Structure 1
């Protein structure tokens, strides 16, 4: 069985989320590039009704943290 580490990114005040946002998440899921964090889907927090995006777990942390720590090692294309 394949195990994948994921991260849940909560969207505050998202109970009444717009359909166009859901379409954007769907498009990113279907057509996201190899240099982007993978979006696996969305779910709803049963406690407060807000949406959460299910995304690939990034071992390096946030993009900002990665760029801050590796900026000198990356070529312009990678940045």
Structure 2
């Protein structure tokens, strides 16, 4: 089954960023299959934006930012 609920036009690097969010060590493997003509800085920017937006939502809905969580861990690793 394919879920198209979030399908839409956009930057394909966003999809690559979501696939590797919190798993930077896998980015090279992913790009080996995708192609090497990719700006890794754009993927890192998408990681940061996605993490910030998700973190905001989580905090607004009572999530404790001191608890382990992918979005917070990604942001902390960039500090």
Structure with greater helix percent? 2
Q: What TM-score comes out, normalization by structure 2 length?
A: 0.27
More strand by share: 1
